[in-house]
Structures are given as C-alpha cells and as structure tokens.
Amino acid sequence: MSKFKKTGKFSLDEKIEQSKFDFCKNLKWFLIAPVLIIIVGIVMLCTLGFNLGIDFTGGSNMTIYIDGDGTYGEKLDIDKDDDEIRDKIQEVLEHHGLKITTLQTATMDVDDLGIVDGDAIIIKYQNDDSLSTEEIESVNDQIKLEILKAFGYVDESVTVVEDLEGIETAALVQNGGVTTPSALEELIMRTFIALLVIIVLVLIYNTIRFNFSSGLITILVLFHDILVAAAVVLICRIQINVSFIAGLFAILAYSVSNSMVTFNGIKEKLKVAENANQKVDNVQIANSSAKETLLRSILTGVIVFVMFLMITVIGVADVREFAFPILIGILAGFYSSVCLIPGLWAIAYKPKKRKKNKPKSTEIEESVEVLDA
C-alpha cells in the first residue's frame, strides 16, 4: 500500500476562474480611487507645484571627501556625523544665500593622494538666478575654497581661489559643474516628442494586432498610469529630476506589456466565439480573460514591485527619484490592466455582425419535396 495518499488538486487558477466576481460590473467602483488620486494631484499642482530639482530649476553639485581617518583634516564618520557634516556645508552655502537641495552618500577616488573608493557625499544646490553662468562658476569656486577650509583640507591662510592649483588636498572637493534650465528645455521638448511617438506607435500596433478600440483603451490606460504616478510623486513631494523622465518611460513599457497580456486573452476568447459562430458576449469574454490572466499578472507584478521596493528603500537619493515613480507605476499598471481594461473593453468593443448560415441546396430540395407531398 502506498505511503502517500493521492488527493485531488484544486489550483488557485481554477479558484480564480470559477469565482463569480464581475470586473465589468464593478468598473465604476474601480474608477473612484484613481480619479481621487489624480484630482488631489491636480490640486497639489495648482497650489504647490512639483518639487523640482536642480535638473529643472538650474543648480550646481559638488562631491566632498569625508576623512574618516583624520589624515587630511578633521576626523568625521559619514554615518555617525551626518548632522555635523550637513551643518558645515549649509553654513558655507548660507554665506552665499544658498541652501542644500539634496545630499547623498557616494564614493570618490583621488589618485594623487592614493584614495580609492573613499567615503564622500554629493551635494546639490540651486544657483542664484540673477547671476550669469560665469558669475555662478566664480561663486562655486569660492564655495569650494570655503568647504575645503571648513573640513580642514586647506590652511586658513589660503584666500585666493587660484592658489588651490598647487595644493593636492584641493582635489578632496570636486566641483561637478553647473546645470542651466535652458539646457533642459530642449530635453523636455524631446521627451514630449518621444512620448507622442510612443503613443502613436502603440495605437497603430494595437489596432493591427487587436482592434482600434483596444488601441484607444491602451492609450487611455497609459495616461492613467502616468497621471497616477505623477500625482503620487506630487503628493509625497518627491523631488523631480531627469531620472523622473526615465522612470516615466519605464512605466510606459510596463503598462504596455501588462495590457498586452489582457488583450491577448480577450483575443483568444473572441477567436473561439467567432469560429464557433456564437454570439459574442463582451462582458463574459472580458471577465473570463481577466480571471485567466489575473494570477500571472499578480506574480509578475509582485516580482517587479519587490525589486523596485528594495531599490527605493536602500538606494541613494538619485536612485530613489528614479525607482519611486516606477514603484507607483507598477501598482497603477497592474490595477489598470486587471480592473479597468476588462470593463472599458466590454463597453467599447463592437462585435462583428454574424453571417447568417444559408441553407444548403440539398436542404432546399428536401424542404420543397416535403411541401409538394
């Protein structure tokens, strides 16, 4: 007798497919959450606006070495003395009417001093809009000199910026340059054009692969995912830089991929119904397709979500600015593909008119004979 007794299996897929939940009927309830989020986002945009970083407002950045051994200046621990480090830098910036926009940990190499992967921080701050680019660069040089003094990397007797050229420890603070808003106007325009091209291509592809209504729904869903992600970023006051634009394209890619899964399921159901010459029931097909692809969407979404959640939690500021919008976009993309697409498709799709089956010639002859009899 076998030690293990066989039992019948009832998979999660079967449970989902046999459930009586109606995605189409509950569409109006599914729309409430995203509409509220987008409305709150619009209110925040009109009152506070986006929390724009120096990539959009213009600004400068510097990388500052943190001497944990006290070899070149004051001994500071990048983790334990973070408040003291920030205060030193902020005091220098306030002297010029500026303030820190972002501060993040990093590493830096200084070949002349034999430093490899040394502890460092990157600071970003907005520039004085009233100054020209040349004047801003001059101010930044002065800020660099004062930061070097604040951390004890150069002697207090150094007062002229040009004198730093002969001092090796001057490399412990590296000026990252100036970002001007005018340079980003072109980037924003190119981004807008790229998004427009992507939307048109997605519409054409979905129309060819599925149908025109599916293409329009995909575009509507893409706007939903982007708007929800942007609204949450606005509400959470996450700083927006160039990395946010990269995040938007990642959201688009994920949303298109998710919608394809749902529409492929719908297409297969439609094909079966049309081949059998059955009446197409939009609601039944949409619900059935959503239930069949639900588990797959959940598993894919969870894997991608966890990955970007870890990046958001443990990543530095620039990485978080990229990962957080994608994190929200993943949730929005899953929500729209599972909860919105079935109901929207059921409303928008117009089934093809079925061809009436014409009686065969033999059937006509038989019917005539019956009448004659």
Higher pLDDT, 278 or 60: 60
pLDDT at position 5, please? 45
- Are 338 and 198 in a shared domain? yes
Is residue 87 in a domain?
yes
- Are 335 and 243 in a shared domain? yes
Confidence of residue 30 (pLDDT cuts 50, 70, 90): very high
Confidence of residue 8 (pLDDT cuts 50, 70, 90): very low
Is residue 13 in a domain?
no
Is residue 6 in a domain?
no
**Distance of alpha carbon 368 from alpha carbon 357, whole angstroms:** 19
End position of a domain, from candidates 179, 205, 236: 179
pLDDT tens figures, 111-155: 888 888 889 999 988 888 788 888 888 899 999 999 999 998 988
- Are 198 and 76 in a shared domain? no
pLDDT at position 4, please? 43
Residue 349 has pLDDT above 80, yes or no: yes
Higher pLDDT, 371 or 209: 209
Residue 296 has pLDDT above 90, yes or no: no
Q: What mean pLDDT is predicted for residues 149-176? A: 87
- Are 259 and 315 in a shared domain? yes
State percent of the chain over pLDDT 90.
21
- Are 141 and 188 in a shared domain? no
Confidence of residue 181 (pLDDT cuts 50, 70, 90): low
Residue 356 has pLDDT above 70, yes or no: no
- 370 CB-near residues (< 8 Å, 6+ apart): none
Strands (DSSP E) contained in the chain are 59-65, 100-110, 115-126, 173-179
Q: Is 144 exposed, middle or buried (0-12, 13-18, 19+ CB in 10 A)?
A: buried
End position of a domain, from candidates 179, 212, 231: 179
- Are 143 and 186 in a shared domain? no
Is residue 211 in a domain?
yes
pLDDT at position 227, please? 93
Of the listed ranges 43-47, 210-214, 220-224, the least confidently predicted one is: 210-214
**Distance of alpha carbon 330 from alpha carbon 304, whole angstroms:** 8
- Are 205 and 225 in a shared domain? yes
User: Per the structure, how many domains does the chain have?
Assistant: 2
Q: Is 12 exposed, middle or buried (0-12, 13-18, 19+ CB in 10 A)?
A: exposed
- Are 191 and 336 in a shared domain? yes
- CATH code assigned at 335: 1.20.1640.10
- Are 168 and 205 in a shared domain? no
**Distance of alpha carbon 234 from alpha carbon 49, whole angstroms:** 8
End position of a domain, from candidates 121, 153, 179: 179
Choose among 65, 75, 165, 176: nearest CA to 114. 65
| Host domain of residue 257 | 21-39+182-348
pLDDT tens figures, 31-68: 999 999 999 999 999 998 888 877 777 788 899 999 98
Residue 319 has pLDDT above 80, yes or no: no
- Are 147 and 201 in a shared domain? no
Residue 366 has pLDDT above 80, yes or no: no
pLDDT at position 105, please? 85
- CATH code assigned at 128: 3.30.70
Is residue 99 in a domain?
yes
Is residue 368 in a domain?
no
Is residue 167 in a domain?
yes
State percent of the chain over pLDDT 70.
87
Residue 224 has pLDDT above 90, yes or no: yes
pLDDT at position 70, please? 87
Question: Which tokens is 87 given?
Answer: 């205060």
Average pLDDT taken over every residue of the chain: 83
- Helical H runs in 6-153? 12-18, 27-30, 32-47, 54-57, 82-94, 133-150
Residue 352 has pLDDT above 70, yes or no: no
pLDDT at position 257, please? 86
Is residue 285 in a domain?
yes
If you average pLDDT over each of 19-28, 218-227, 310-319, which comes out highest? 218-227
Could you say which DSSP state residue 116 is in?
Answer: E
Other Cβ atoms less than 10 A from the Cβ of 45: the count is: 13
pTM of the model: 0.75
Q: What mean pLDDT is predicted for residues 292-299? A: 83
- Are 144 and 208 in a shared domain? no
Of the listed ranges 62-71, 78-87, 96-105, 277-286, the least confidently predicted one is: 277-286
CB distance 54 to 60 below 8 Å: yes
- Are 191 and 91 in a shared domain? no
